[in-house]
Amino acid sequence: MTRIELDTIQAWQNLSDHTAPKCGLPCQNHKPERCCEPMFCDMAEEHAQKHWDAFPLYSARYLRGETRLKFMGDQGCLIPPHLRPSCSLHQCMINSLGFMLHEPAWTRKYFELREKIDELELKRYEEKQ
């Protein structure tokens, strides 16, 4: 794996770590699977194969028929943030309002982390050409 790929993986992880506390107990979507949908798992699977040559395994829960989400484990999603970009970027307040209400510093950091990902994904794309 190249330096740029490693940095890109870390940048996605940083964004995921930043949004995780906002998707904990105060989650606004009271369904057990929150805002996850099978369609997003399918998108992640396609992205992983096409852009990272990765073939993530389906979760045991999914294989037992306990969830509609092929990558959902007991403690949340089993695949790393860079393989599921749509899910990693998503935060419902950002998506609906464009910012986190009453939290300008958190919002600023969220967009800085996204910008860093954009830079690295572009470098990764150029490196592959």
Nearer to ligand SF4, 35 or 54 (CB): 35
Nearer to ligand SF4, 11 or 36 (CB): 36
The answer to whether 68 contacts ligand SF4 (rule: CB under 6 A) is no
Shortest separation between residue 61's beta carbon and ligand SF4, angstroms: 10
Among 4, 15, 77, 120, binds ligand SF4 (CB under 6 A): 77
Shortest separation between residue 17's beta carbon and ligand SF4, angstroms: 14
Q: Which residues contact 78 (CB under 8 A, 6 or more apart)?
A: 56, 57, 59, 71, 72
The answer to whether 16 contacts ligand SF4 (rule: CB under 6 A) is no
Pick the closest to residue 121 from 55, 54, 51 (CA basis): 51
Tell me whether residue 11 is exposed, middle or buried, using C-beta atoms within 10 angstroms of its C-beta: 0 to 12, 13 to 18, 19 or more: buried
Among 90, 114, 116, 123, binds ligand SF4 (CB under 6 A): 90
What are the beta bridge partners of residue 76?
A: 73
Q: What dihedral do alpha carbons 65, 85, 79, 57 form, nearest 10°?
A: 60
The answer to whether 100 contacts ligand SF4 (rule: CB under 6 A) is no
The answer to whether 82 contacts ligand SF4 (rule: CB under 6 A) is no
Q: Which helix (H) or strand (E) holds 56?
A: none
Please identify, among the stretches 4-12, 26-34, 99-107, 118-126, the one whose residues bind ligand SF4 according to the rule CB under 6 A. Answer: 26-34
